[in-house]
Structure 1
Amino acid sequence: MFARKNRAERTAEEAWEHLSSAWTTAGDSAGKAGRKGRRLAARAGDRVTSVTDEAVSRAAAAADALAGRRPARPWALIAGVGLFGVVVGWAVASTARAAIERQAENEEIELAETAVVVTPTYDDH
């Protein structure tokens, strides 16, 4: 029981450290970008936005972890993989069906070529 509590405390401490680090990094990046000239501001703005977005994302994940909430399932990814599986399955089934049909046609042609046709002959005997 104590090991579990210690593990939870360690997880909370690590999450807090990540959260603090992410906000500090976002603040430092924003401060540096603010001191640059107008010419560099546009490029730095994109960088700050991405860093800030990452910091907010990490902060939200850390807050969720501290609150005991599990991350959401990536439904778009799951649906995409499912759709990909359906397309691949359809392609494999179509290819297999075409191969079976070709094999049946080849066997029919081979049987027709090797078949012995017996024709009756009418002798006057």
Structure 2
Amino acid sequence: MFSTKSKTERTATQAWEYLTAAMTAATDTAKDTSDKAAKLAGKASDQSHKLAGKSQKLAGQASGKADLAWARANAAAAALAGRKPATPWGLIIGVGLLGAAIGWAAATSARAALERQAEQEERELAETAVVVTPTYDN
């Protein structure tokens, strides 16, 4: 009459079943799409070069969608299993290098601006300086 499973366990079980079904469907769809794309490519190569290009484009799009579905299904499975997503080290390193390059450029330009300002101040002091020459009266 009453289930001993908690609501979260039932929800997790149901989510796992949905995920398994979705992954199976994504695999079947990817296989079907791949087969259809191969058939279309074969027919198109017989008909014309233009159709071959279109079918290859469609096959690429279908393959991309199947890959995306597979990646999302794997991410959902990992989330249900309690695994955290991988840290994108490549992106972190790339952004760090970009930041370092921008910082270096900013520091270099700031240093050049300060040097120009110091030279300008030195020229102004030289122009306005009064040279006092001592005279010796006998």
Output the CA distance in 2 between the equivalents of 1:119 and 1:34.
Answer: 97
Alignment size in residue pairs: 121
Identical aligned residues as a percent = 49
Aligned counterparts, 1:62-73, within 5 A: 62-73=76-87
Aligned-residue offset at 1:12: 3.4
Over 3 Å counting, the alpha-carbon distance change for 1:71 and 1:112 in structure 2 is same
Output the CA distance in 1 between the equivalents of 2:13 and 2:136.
Answer: 102
Contact 2:37/2:59 (CA < 8 Å) preserved in 1? yes
1:12 aligns with 2:15: yes
Q: Provide structure 2 residue ranges, at least 5 long, that are not aligned to the other structure.
A: 1-5, 45-51
Name which structure has the greater RCO, CA cutoff 8 Å, separation 6+.
Answer: 1
- String of CA shifts for 1:23-50, please: whole Å, max 9, x gaps: 4653563464355352255333322321
Residue equivalent to 1:26: 30
Contact 2:78/2:84 (CA < 8 Å) preserved in 1? yes
Contact 1:19/1:58 (CA < 8 Å) preserved in 2? no
**RMSD (Å), alpha carbons:** 3.1
Residue identity opposite 1:85 in structure 2: G
What's the TM-score, normalizing by structure 1?
Answer: 0.74
Residue equivalent to 2:112: 98
1:59 aligns with 2:73: yes
Output the CA distance in 1 between the equivalents of 2:86 and 2:14.
Answer: 19
Output the CA distance in 1 between the equivalents of 2:13 and 2:101.
Answer: 45
Over 3 Å counting, the alpha-carbon distance change for 1:83 and 1:10 in structure 2 is farther
Contact 2:12/2:80 (CA < 8 Å) preserved in 1? no
Q: Provide structure 1 residue ranges, at least 5 long, that are not aligned to the other structure.
A: none
SS in structure 1 at match of 2:94? helix
Over 3 Å counting, the alpha-carbon distance change for 1:18 and 1:111 in structure 2 is farther
Output the CA distance in 1 between the equivalents of 2:122 and 2:59.
Answer: 71
Aligned-residue offset at 1:9: 3.8
What's the TM-score, normalizing by structure 2?
Answer: 0.68
Instruction: Name which of structure 1's ranges 21-30 and 98-107 shifts more when overlaid on structure 2.
Output: 21-30
